[in-house]
Amino acid sequence: MRDHYVVTGGAGFIGSAIVRSLLEEGARRIVVVDSLVTGRESNLEEVRQSIEFHRADIRNYEEVAPLLRGAAVVFHEAAIPSVPRSIEEPEFTHDVNVNGTFTLLCAARVGEVGRVVYAASSSAYGDSQVLPKVETMAPSPKSPYALHKLAGEYYASVFASVYGLDTVSLRYFNVYGPRQDPSSPYSGVLSIFMKSVLERCPPTIFGDGEQSRDFTYVEDVAALNLKAARARNVSGKTYNGGNGGRITLNGAWALVQKIEGVEIPARYGPPRAGDVRHSQADTAAAARDLGHAPRFSFEEGMRRTLAWYRHDGGL
């Protein structure tokens, strides 16, 4: 009987939000698989008694396969994110993101997993001429990371068509929210903005700050994952996981300052290699096929996130 859920990368920022949402929905058995390379056990602190935690690397078939066997759904979040990290560490990030995903899909197939929901990335689109970005557009990855995530998506789709493994891919659009680690140079820009404003230090914006992103609140992404786990007739498909809006980095930093009631002019540095200029999701397919409707406006998400960093995030 398929009775359990697996979340790879479940000690990470997005994975741990999926774990929480599963628990809220009454899931009985949740298995977290995490190597703790970027994830942290503290992200699971208050739910630790309600889940099974396994420190394991998705590249290790022998370790991972028994944990997946017979799972109802595997949410595959484990990855080494970051465009610049993939440029600086191409072998390691390829190994985890591409080979790790391949290994995981093999284990899911052999273990007769009910469905794999794969964390894909909006970076697959690259610099499309048209906004918003819709799933029918040809992908155009600009960085190793974008290519890794796209390869995983293609593998998921091929495992569906060739082996009959039920898979669905969700292209996340710049997810932010509580528990995003702000401490690394590879951290998501909004977590860096939160740290900067609370420490009253100017952030460095790469380029002119007029690049834009469809920042998406982590709880909306977790909700989308649960919908994708249940939707019918979606196997082998890819959906955008975005909010549908778009804000520039200058606009986002202005909002952070407004919420905090401070004025700290940002510093500006050279543009970052592999950076996409504009990003915005067309959300129609996810709404139609998965029944997804994002709940959090950017300002509401930012207020909640800042409150978390202030009270719980140790800043």
Residues that are catalytic: 145
Task: Decide if 127 contacts 65 (C-beta within 8 A).
Answer: no
Is position 181 an interface residue for ligand UD2 (rule: CB under 6 A)?
Answer: no
Query: In this structure, how many other beta carbons lie within 10 angstroms of the beta carbon of residue 87?
Result: 15
Cβ count near 233 (within 10 Å):
6
Q: Name 216's Cβ contacts closer than 8 Å, sequence gap at least 6.
A: 172, 173, 174, 175, 176, 241, 242, 243, 281, 294
List 43, 123, 225, 280, residue binding ligand UD2 (CB under 6 A): 123
- For position 192 contacting ligand UD2 by CB under 6 A, the verdict is yes
Task: Identify which range of 64-72, 151-159, 168-176, 256-264 contacts ligand UD2 by CB under 6 A.
Answer: 168-176
For residue 170, state whether it binds ligand UD2 (rule: CB under 6 A): no
Is there binding between residue 43 and ligand UD2 (CB under 6 A)?
Answer: no
Please tell me whether residue 182 binds ligand UD2 under the rule CB under 6 A: no
Could you tell me which stretch among 4-12, 52-60, 109-117, 197-205 binds ligand UD2 (CB under 6 A)?
197-205
Nearer to ligand UD2, 183 or 204 (CB): 204
Q: Are strands 30-34 and 115-121 parallel, antiparallel or unpaired?
A: unpaired
Q: Which residue's CB is nearer to ligand UD2, number 51 or number 211? A: 211
Residues 154, 206, 250, 257: which binds ligand UD2 (CB under 6 A)? 206
Positions 208 through 227 that interact with ligand UD2 (CB under 6 A): 211, 213
Residue 256 interacting with ligand UD2 (CB under 6 A) = no
- 273-312 positions binding ligand UD2, by CB under 6 A: 275-276, 279
**Which residue, 51 or 174, has its beta carbon nearer to ligand UD2?**
174
The only residue of 249, 281, 290, 302 in contact with ligand UD2, by rule CB under 6 A: 249
82 contacts ligand UD2 (rule: CB under 6 A): yes
205 near ligand UD2, rule: CB under 6 A: yes
Told to check if 272 binds ligand UD2 by CB under 6 A, we report: yes
Footprint of ligand UD2 (CB under 6 A): 81-83, 121-123, 172-174, 188-189, 192, 203-206, 211, 213, 249, 272, 275-276, 279
